Chain A
Amino acid sequence: MNILSGNRPGALPLTLLLIVVVGCLALAPFLFPGTRALDTAAKICIFILLAASYDLTLGYGGIVSFAHTMFFGLGAYGVALMLDHLGRGWLPMIGGAAAGAAAAAALAFVIALFSLRVRAIFFAMITLAVASAMAVLVSQLSGLTGGEDGLNYQIPRELTPAFRIGKLFDVTVNGKILNYYLVFAGCTVLFLLLLRIVSSPFGRVLEAIRENDFRAEAIGYPVLRYRAAATCISAAVAALAGALYAIWLRYVGPGTTLSMEIMIDILLMVVIGGMGTMYGAILGATLFVLAQTYLQDLMGAGAEALSAVPLAARLLDPDRWLLWLGVLFILSVYFFPTGVVGRLRAMAARSARST
């Protein structure tokens, strides 16, 4: 079986980079021991999947939606509510994920039906409005959702640090590591599924619609139906990413799943990585989460080292990390308008021509 669905990275440096990232993620518990590193690795996995599902609509379908965190949140809250109300167990956990995904797909279908007919800008506005309404609803229904405080709940014992198995390469293998591998495996399978979908006849039609929706309709593809299907698939996958996040964090709140900030993050991950490439989501999400997590530390170290230089030390003060994150994004979008993947592929194509 062709696991990459015939969809190859297409450039040697890109392939190597992807192998390094995926290899590091696969062996994260053994390569980078420590709670914080493992948390970061899990977050990277989940955001790769989330960004990839967003790329299906944005990069392949040319559909701009701001409701992606809403779908992400539906999956997370599905798991959280089930585990909170029915108690810890595998069945409520899986049931919650399935219910969240189904709800996300259904809601995406309704939004698509009502608003994909209209111009792209109106569709974007409608998704923004629905997502904001959902965020308000979740924070107001505090009896059910815990409001702004969110929900804490118990996950099956086998996935918690209390469940110990033994030692492997000097690392204590416990439920937390099993939990990590659940996240990793879930994200891998769903990512490969997305990769399959973009290489399928359906995925090709999506690209055609992005290129010229008028002609796609004229050669016999009902554009609305294809866009609706893409939105539903993307929403369901985002919800499953949310479910994995809820299982990993054992906590769900509006700030971790529904906020507009996360929406902007996903958008940036896809754009920085490269739209319409799928592999861009891997690089974009990895770079982004790493910068978000470690830039502050790096700057702290930098400020320390430069403490003798008056202005530089103040510029590198860890409190200014958001400023520098912003500068990094502006630079990356400026220098890589087609994303990291687009840039690497273009370089490979150039060197192939010159030889």
Chain B
Amino acid sequence: MPDPVLETRGLTIRFGGHVAVDHVSCAFMPGELTAIVGPNGAGKTTYFNIISGQLPASEGNVLLRGEDITRLPASERTRRGIGRAFQLTNLFPALSVFENVRLAVQAKAGRGMRFLSMASAHRSLAARAEAVLEEVRLTRLAGQPVSALSHGDQRKLEVALLIALEPSVFMFDEPTAGMSVDEAPVVLDLIARLKAEGGHTILLVEHKLSVIRSLADRIIVLHNGALAADGPPAEVMASAVVQEAYLGQELADV
């Protein structure tokens, strides 16, 4: 069995007396797509935030390829290959769509500290940014400021930034939330394609069970911050814990 790419050991965060993530230990394998499910407030996004470095762990460790990254700042984790798309769209509003992606490409290339060359002279970065925009079907909006985009297009751009980073771990936090029925497939196809490419470790917080069924290799269930179930989709979905955790919420709308 190969070594896990990403691993959390006893990962815990407390806000005052409230334990939002409670000793979650989990290993994520290369090429595996793991869906993370659980009711609202179960700690899914918080778990993501500790892994990608937006929140400091109170206890436990995050390991990337066996290396402890628990104390590293978010930017350094991204540089090492943890890529994150956010649930609430989190972009650079006054900058153009193209510039948003170009910034992510530039970050990946590690060229941010160039003071005396012109940004536009780095043609390979621009070309890569254009290719990423093409992938998410946003080419026609490249020149628009983000603030002029529809919600669905902003979600696509959110995913584009993640793809531009070329991470080894992709973390999607409800990538299709609030998207229309016509728009969601663009993002889901992208995730499916990433999975098909193989080798990427993908973590996906998602509510729609149809999506989970078609994409996930494995499901983990968080309930009140703790790991409630972990296994192949069919097994987890059938388990009593999940039925209880969801209390018929999402399972009902299959």
Residues of A in contact with B (beta carbons under 8 Å apart) = 2, 5-6, 196-197, 199-205, 207-208, 211-212, 214-223, 226, 229, 233
Contacts and interface: CB of A to CB of B under 8 A. Distances in A.
B119 A203 contact: yes
Interface stretch (B99-107, B133-141, B193-201): B99-107
B94 A217 contact: no
Nearest to A202: B115
Contacts of B116: 196-197, 200
Given A208-B92, A217-B73, A218-B84, A200 B107 contact: no
Nearest to B75: A222
B79, B112, B120 — most chain A CB neighbours (10 Å): B112
B117 interface: yes
B36 interface: no
A5, A208, A212 — most chain B CB neighbours (10 Å): A208
Given A212-B92, A218-B75, A220-B108, 7 more contacts: A204-B119, A211-B94, A217-B74, A217-B75, A219-B165, A221-B112, A233-B115
The 3 residue pairs across chains A and B that have the minimum distance between CB atoms: A220-B78, A220-B107, A211-B92
B149 interface: no
Contacts, number: 96
A223 B113 CA distance: 12
Contacts of A202: 112-115
Given A212-B90, A212-B91, A229-B113, A201 B119 contact: yes
A210 B108 CA distance: 20
Given A219-B104, A220-B75, A222-B73, A199 B119 contact: yes
Contacts of A199: 118-120
Contacts of A214: 54, 90
Nearest to B146: A211
Contacts of A217: 73-75
Contacts of A219: 75, 78, 103-104, 107, 161, 165
Interface of B: 52, 54, 73-76, 78-79, 84, 86, 90-95, 99, 102-104, 106-108, 111-120, 122, 161, 165
Contacts of B103: 204-205, 208, 216, 219
Contacts of B115: 196-197, 200, 202, 233
Contacts of A196: 115-116, 118
A200 B119 contact: yes
Contacts of B99: 204
24 contacts: A6-B118, A6-B120, A197-B116, A200-B117, A201-B119, A202-B115, A203-B119, A204-B99, A205-B112, A207-B95, A208-B92, A208-B103, A211-B94, A214-B54, A215-B91, A215-B92, A216-B92, A216-B103, A218-B54, A218-B74, A218-B75, A220-B75, A220-B79, A233-B115
Contacts of B94: 211
A86 to B, nearest CB: 32
Contact of A200 (B93, B108, B114): B114
A201 B114 contact: yes
Contacts of A2: 118
A76 B120 CA distance: 36
A119 B94 CA distance: 22
Contact of A218 (B78, B95, B118, B122): B78
Contacts of A212: 90-93
A20 to B, nearest CB: 27
Contacts of A220: 75, 78-79, 107-108, 165
Contact of A201 (B54, B79, B112): B112
Nearest to B102: A204
Contacts of A200: 114-119
B52 A204 contact: no
Nearest to B167: A220
A83 to B, nearest CB: 31
